[in-house]
Amino acid sequence: MDYRIEHDSMGEMKVPADKYWGAQTQRSYQNFRIGTEKMPHEIIMAFAYLKKAAAMANYRLEKLNKEKLDAINAAADEILEGKLDDNFPLVVWQTGSGTQSNMNVNEVIANRGNAIAGKKLLHPNDDVNKSQSSNDTFPTAMHIAAVFEIRQKLIPSIESMIGTLKRLEKENEGIIKSGRTHLQDATPISFSQEISGWRNMLEISLEQINAAIPGISKLALGGTAVGTGLNAPKGFAEEAAKAVSELTGYSFETAANKFHALTSKDELVFMHGALKALAADLMKIANDVRWLASGPRDGLEEIIIPANEPGSSIMPGKVNPTQCESMTMVAVQVIANDTAIAFAASQGNFELNVFMPVLIYNFLQSVRLLSDGMRSFNDNCLSGIKANKEVMKHNLYNSLMLVTALNPYIGYENAAKTAKLAYEESISLRDACVKLGFLTGEQFDEVFHPEEMI
């Protein structure tokens, strides 16, 4: 491999000749050979927007000339276009401030910008990192990436699933089935009512996620090292946030208190709490679906779901609810990520949180898994659900809990005796009620209407 010599404040380093990173990136690459988890691609993209915005703000405040602005923009645009993807090799398990990834981006933009300009024009610290510190850029990149992924991927997945449930709700109006509580028979419910419960779970989750977006739309940029804004010109924070909004098309604003913005990660914890709530609802929905589809002969078999793959390497003809299983595993991972995120956020010592890479790695993984998992579950399972009307009707009229309809006529205790006798002797509720002398057959028929119990 061919190398070139780069230097930083600690001396010279050999860097692969075909890469644009510099000495600080190389030091991190060599010193942190830990795991396979790379800094998320979403963070690198957010940094590209951030560096463009900072350069725009510096230019508007007459701290950076047009030639340097253009070179920074050109290099950052190549990052956003995916042309420089192989120039960001650093792992999550690095400095807790994300300094080395900030410098990775600074060095790549500087070196690529110089190559575009055809001369030594940009310095990674003095120009690309001008008016900034890793301590305010990394939390800013975290927020930009979080807003992007939630708005562009997660919310559309939620809305698509809500749309499917609305369709299923309408298609299944008028179908009455047995309700269940404690995994035991309960009073009747319509299938559309059951579906509406699933739908409203997602609608409420969407409301909670939308309520958390304003918090992660506040940017730390302008706080520099400890929140005081040292070495950033007056107005830089506001101009930079304005520029991020212009570049991304989403509304961002500067954080009012930069001391809070650098050391606290409560906005991301709050948002991930909403993601955890969504995961909990998805776990519930997927479990309901696979219970209702259990069988095909020895389970509930009240719904039929798409058969996507063979379910067994030894049992011919077996088909499993694989999309439900995938969705529930995603939920488990997201709920586990919430613990890591909360613990990382609690470790803000003095003026800086130093658990930011692991926090945002888990956060973005949750958003990615939820977005992809919901889309897969919706397209490959939920959208193809069909009600097994015959089984639903059989289970409904075989349910002992229909006896609840008799409470106003024979009382709770007599109704309980009726259900008990019907169960013990495997007879109908009508026969049991008549046998016990509580009602005549005609009286029973007059008051017993399961379809009216919903």
Res 168 pLDDT > 90: yes
Q: Quickly name the fold that domain 3-130 has.
A: Fumarase C; Chain B, domain 1 (1.10.275)
Mean pLDDT of the chain: 97
Cα–Cα distance, 320 to 293 (Å, whole number): 10
The percentage of the chain sitting over the pLDDT mark of 90, rounded to a whole number, equals 98
Mean pLDDT of the region 84-96? 98
Over residues 264-281, mean pLDDT: 98
Mean pLDDT of 247-254: 98
- Rounded to 10 deg, the angle between the 191-216 and 155-171 helix axes is 160
CATH H superfamily, domain 399-452: Fumarase/aspartase (C-terminal domain) (1.10.40.30)
CATH number of the structural domain 143-234+264-387: 1.20.200.10
Catalytic, 394? Answer no
Which residues belong to CATH 1.10.275.10 in the chain?
3-130
What would the pLDDT profile of 335-391 be if each residue is shown by its tens digit? 999 999 999 999 978 999 999 999 999 999 999 999 999 999 999 999 999 999 999
What does the pLDDT average to over 212-224? 98
Task: State the pTM of this model.
Answer: 0.96
Compute the average pLDDT of residues 281-302: 97
Residue whose entry in the numeric block shows the structure tokens 């930009």: 144
Phi first, then psi, for residue 373 (nearest 5°) are -65, -40
Q: Which of 7, 312, 346, 449 is catalytic?
A: 312
- Locate CATH 1.20.200.10 in the chain: 143-234+264-387
pLDDT for the residue numbered 451? 85
Give the integer Cα–Cα distance in Å for 368 and 148: 11
How many residues does the structure list for the chain? Answer: 454
From 9, 182, 313, 426, active-site residue: 182
pLDDT at 77 exceeding the cut of 90: yes
For 8-12, what is the mean pLDDT? 92
pLDDT in tens, 384-430: 999 999 999 999 999 999 999 999 999 999 999 999 999 999 999 99
Which 3 state secondary structure label does DSSP give 136? helix
CA angle 276–282–287, rounded 5-degree value: 130
Question: Could you confirm whether 312 is annotated as catalytic?
Answer: yes
pLDDT digits (tens, 9 = 90+) for 100-123: 999 999 999 999 999 999 999 999
CATH 1.10.40.30 location in the chain: 399-452
Q: Does the structure show a pLDDT above 90 at 29?
A: yes
What 287-294 contacts at long range (C-beta under 8 Å, 24+ apart), as own/partner pairs, is 287/324, 287/328, 288/194, 288/198, 289/321, 289/324, 289/381, 289/382, 289/385, 290/321, 290/324, 290/325, 293/321, 293/324
Mean pLDDT, range 247-263, rounded to an integer:
98
